[in-house]
A and B are shown apart, each in its own frame.
Chain A
Amino acid sequence: MRAIRGRLLLAGLLAAGCAGQSLRADVSATRTEVEKVRRNGGERCNPREIARAEAALDFADRELDEGNSGAAEDQLDAAHENLHRAAVTAEQCAPKIVTVREKPVPVVLIEKTDRDGDGVPDLDDACPDVPGPKENQGCPLVKDTDGDGIPDDQDKCPLDPEDKDGFQDEDGCPDPDNDHDGVVDAMDACPNNPGPVENQGCPVLDRDHDGIVDWLDKCPDVPGVAPDGCPRKFKLIEVKQDRIEIRQQVHFATGRFKVLKDSFTLLDQVAQALKDAPRVRVRVEGHTDDVGREAANLRLSQRRAQAVRAYLVRKGIAPDRLEAVGYGPTRPLASNKTAKGRAQNRRTEFRIVTSM
């Protein structure tokens, strides 16, 4: 029994190691891409996206060092997203290269040449660099037994015609099931993406990662619970695609960061919503108005966000599903010139960042 457990442990460690290696290679490749985009005008056109991509790669490396391949993968996704944005816009804003064509100088060929030495002068030779008989305009005679337009000497399957469905058409071999999902292309609604026959060969999607596949999920973009995949109804909160919306504010003692008792019911409902969607991760965001020094407001908002996070952890939510970030007055919702606006800006938000 001990030996089996040991082997299982060893296999687990090896699998984790392989995933880490592969992620590390991805990080390195993405870094090269970022460098390429930066050289092609990315830093000038999209400095923010380039910076975010570089930082995310740095974070991914650090998470891999710590053995957190899940977190590293999230950072790598963030790097890809920013790289893609930077690359798309860089193409549009990069300086255009204009080629000025010089006027061709007329050349008179007097000498008759035959570069491939097949006896057909280059002027009459359709293939002047490859020898071939005169009857074939100087080109070599090549057979195409299966008649798929790919000469036998380049055809990996000279007896089976290529199916020319846009997938690996250059090798000359037919691909009846491009994605190897067991559903032949003729019957496969997604011939290049593997998926089960029950879903017509298309991948099973679960966009909101709530464990209920999209075609059975009445709310496919909002994490929910069985049977219909929609979120449970709460009195004080509502689960949305990108956030948990709260209908009343979290209350703290003035100028302090202790959560007041009258907010416990609200936070209990947030905790229940997180328990209902165990693969969802949330960033607790603390925001303030602009009264007072910015640095002090940033500190207070960070501590308040951490206090809310700590409450949720006490209610049984895994700590690695929760981030706490204080933004101070930097992300106002309304004008800070009015009391009403300032009250709107003093808030706590629960943003769904990613699904695990």
Chain B
Amino acid sequence: MRPLLPFTLLALLGCGPVRYTGVLWDADRELAAARAAGAADRAPYEFALSEEYLHQAKVLAGHARYDDADDYGRRATAYAKAAHQKAAGQAVAEGK
């Protein structure tokens, strides 16, 4: 009976909130990693896009628009990864 409890809860709540929360966590983590790699200065375009999409994702999640929040969260993650990669490449080129 016990192992079924989480699935029952999921079914009752619907998957939207659960899915977007995971996506936003990923985006937060990727953005933090990009920031730590100096992406704010080395890849400002991609970094700013990631920040904007993440911010909007959180705003829309607050309005219960989970599908949109999920979509923006994924884009935020993608831009954060791109920013991180670019920043890391530049750091190597600068010999740091």
Residues of A in contact with B (beta carbons under 8 Å apart): 43, 47-48, 50-52, 54-56, 59, 62, 66, 294-295, 298-299, 302, 306, 309, 319-320, 322-326, 328, 330
Contacts and interface: CB of A to CB of B under 8 A. Distances in A.
Given A325-B55, A326-B58, A55 B25 contact: no
Contacts of B35: 330
A52 B48 contact: yes
23 contacts: A48-B45, A50-B45, A51-B44, A51-B48, A51-B49, A51-B52, A55-B48, A55-B49, A55-B53, A55-B56, A59-B56, A62-B68, A66-B65, A295-B29, A299-B28, A302-B58, A306-B62, A324-B58, A324-B59, A324-B62, A325-B58, A328-B28, A330-B35
A51 B53 CA distance: 10
Nearest to B21: A299
Given A55-B56, A319-B63, A325-B59, A295 B32 contact: yes
Given A48-B45, A51-B48, A55-B53, A298 B62 contact: no
Given A43-B45, A47-B48, A62-B68, A298 B28 contact: yes
Closest 10 CB pairs of A and B: A47-B45, A55-B52, A51-B48, A48-B48, A294-B32, A47-B44, A298-B28, A51-B49, A295-B29, A324-B62
B63 to A, nearest CB: 7
A52 B79 CA distance: 13
Contacts of A330: 35
Contacts of B59: 323-325
Contacts of A302: 24, 58
B51 to A, nearest CB: 8
Contacts of A47: 44-45, 48
Chain A interface mostly: helix
A47 B42 CA distance: 11
Contacts of B45: 43, 47-48, 50-51
Given A48-B45, A323-B59, A298 B52 contact: no
| Chain B: number of interface residues, binned into ranges | 20 to 34
Contacts of B63: 319-320
Nearest to B24: A302
Interface in B24-43: 24-25, 28-29, 32, 35
Nearest to A293: B32
A132 to B, nearest CB: 58
B28 A309 contact: no
Contacts of A51: 44-46, 48-49, 52
A55 B46 CA distance: 11
Interface string B55-86: 11011001101001000000000000000000
A52 B29 contact: no
A48 B43 CA distance: 10
B19 to A, nearest CB: 15
Contacts of B56: 55, 59
A324 B53 CA distance: 15
A259 to B, nearest CB: 16
Contacts of B32: 294-295, 298
Nearest to A306: B62
Nearest to A38: B45
A54 B75 CA distance: 13
A43 B46 CA distance: 11
Nearest to B29: A295
Given A56-B52, A295-B32, A302-B58, 12 more contacts: A50-B45, A51-B52, A55-B52, A55-B53, A66-B65, A298-B28, A320-B63, A323-B62, A324-B59, A324-B62, A325-B55, A328-B28
A295 B28 contact: yes
Contacts of A56: 52
